Amino acid sequence: MCFDSRFCLVRSVTWCFICLGRVLAQVSCELVPPKPSRPTEGVLFFNLELSPMAAPGLEPGRQSELLVSLNRLLERCLRDSKCIETESLCVVAGEKVWQIRLDMHLLNHDGNITDAASIAGIVALCHFRRPDVSVQGEEVTVYTPEERDPVPLSIHHMPICVSFAFFHQGTYLLVDPTEREERVMDGLLVIAMNKHHEICTIQSSGVVMLLPDQILRCSKITAVKVAEITELIQKALENDQKARKEGGKFGFAESIPNQRITAFKMESAAVDTNDVEEQAGEIIAKADPPSEVFASPVLHTPGTAQIGEGIESSWGDLEESEKEEEEAAEEKGESEVAAFECQKMETEDTSTPRETKSEEPIVLSDSEEEEVVILEPQELPRKTRTQTSSKQENPSKKAFNKRRRKKKTSR
């Protein structure tokens, strides 16, 4: 079990991480108006969330039957058992009280969510500290942890849930079932008890009928398990409080072992700083003098450059070669445009008749900013001639057709 806490001016938060089923519990507090029916009592709010991170079968944002039953069971275990003194959370009767909110997140569903959530919730509440307040008339002052030490909650007892799975109609009994065992069990019995052997709540589910002797047997086992878990919780809380006073490791930092890479642990080594200047002078005297001759750059292929290792850069030569290539391309493009214009003028002279030659010539702009080229549609006399010639029939063919018609009529 790992603990960590954080405080602020109006809200105070604490975390608890339980390795039994991987449940993360977070407690926060806030000043709110009380309920009209209970003006001198604080407000307790419990919430358990199941996410697909814990198991693929769980859906986010959906109130399943499992989630509803777990929230109700935890409320009966922690709220209805009166383990927290709600009247001590009152600041001003009928105006301001502390609202304690317990949020639990399931990180890994390995079965027996109820036991893991109940242990995480009660440990987080025991470890939680709310800011101290003072009331002067109608003014309420909330002190920071630097000004006054935070105040723990008034907890009378610690109710802890213990689950029992039954197989073959109650013939076999199993404590703390896993996720696979829960799939094939016939029934489930949950008993919440404190170390004083007081039963806080009991719930049975499934298709198995239990006998009174079986329930008494489960209650005796629960008393033993609750005593062991309560002793572990008290030791963990004492060690955490002792580490905070001494300034040692506490919270999540304590759970990280030194053998892991994430610990970032490095053994300290002593560094001798005596005679540093003399050693530096000896190293400089023994070193070879720097060479004054610079090697010429080596270009493996055209358009490459070599940088570093004491050789001068040749990017300037590369840029000049690129500029020369661009200038040659521009000159080539200008020559092609001039040849195209000359060819165009010759085709216009040959294709247009003499009457069009007397018209005004087309003046092209000589400016370098923009070059305008006007293209006019060319006439196609050949196509028209072929079309007209195709319409006209050969006279020899006409005479042959006439003779053929006369022979048919004479017959």
Residue 52's domain is classified under what CATH number? Answer: 3.30.230.70
What is the C-alpha to C-alpha distance for residues 275 and 148, in angstroms, rounded to an integer? 52
For residue 181, give the DSSP letter: H
Question: pLDDT tens across 152-202, in order?
Answer: 999 999 999 999 999 988 888 899 898 888 889 999 999 999 999 999 999
Print the domain residue range for 16: 2-156+232-251
Tell whether 143 is covered by a domain: yes
Question: pLDDT tens across 96-142, in order?
Answer: 999 999 999 888 888 888 998 999 999 999 989 899 999 888 888 88
Question: pLDDT tens across 208-251, in order?
Answer: 888 899 999 999 999 999 999 999 999 988 888 888 888 776 66
Tell whether 352 is covered by a domain: no
What is the C-alpha to C-alpha distance for residues 196 and 408, in angstroms, rounded to an integer? 136
Tell whether 387 is covered by a domain: no
DSSP assignments along 115-149, one per residue: HHHHHHHHHHHHH-EEPPEEEETTEEEE--TTTS-
Report which of residues 377 and 19 the model is more confident about.
377
Tell whether 19 is covered by a domain: yes
Tell whether 287 is covered by a domain: no
Domain count, the chain: 1
Q: What single-letter amino acid sits at 310?
A: G
pLDDT at 94 over 50: yes
Please state whether the predicted TM-score (pTM) of the whole model is above 0.75. Answer: no
